[in-house]
Structure 1
Amino acid sequence: MKKYIIFAALLIILGGCTSWHNDNISDPKLKKESYKEDREFCTKRTGQRTNVGPSNENGQRELTRNSDKFSDNRKATSTYNDCMQSRGWVKK
């Protein structure tokens, strides 16, 4: 049983280790600047395209159920990933 727990923990830790790479940019300094610009652009775009949950009386978005949170988070993540991929970035 202990082996399974250790194995599962390793999978969880190693499974989350990804980063964005763009093989079209060879200069490391330019790659870093381009990543920062693309990340900011895609973050703004994701915020504009995905509204999170129903509005409350203050006009802020608020989630009430776990399924709503999961659904909206998945939609936002998918939109962000699509945006980054359209700009030439690949998750590795």
Structure 2
Amino acid sequence: MTSTTTVADVHPTIIGVQPSASMDVTFGMAVFVLCGTAAMYVFVAFGMAVSILRSTVVYAFVAVTFGFAVFRFVFMSDVLATVAVAMTVFDV
């Protein structure tokens, strides 16, 4: 007699919801977005540090403008990733 192992046996359930392939993909996308977010923050921080060290108005203006643009993009990415995960977990 052979025993079969299902995905539900291996993969833990989240808030009592049985896991599915779409849930795994969504969490993978969320991790990808969060890693991209971290990279963006490092990049913006580096740009800010360079502008402060150079202490020129042009560098500071470019860094601040770019920083706000990236912040808006990153914030929206985080919001969309959170909504996607929530929709998957609660099966909306």
Instruction: State the TM-score, normalized to the length of structure 2.
Output: 0.32
Q: Which has the larger radius of gyration?
A: 2
Q: Choose between structure 1 and 2: higher strand proportion.
A: 1
Instruction: State the TM-score, normalized to the length of structure 1.
Output: 0.32
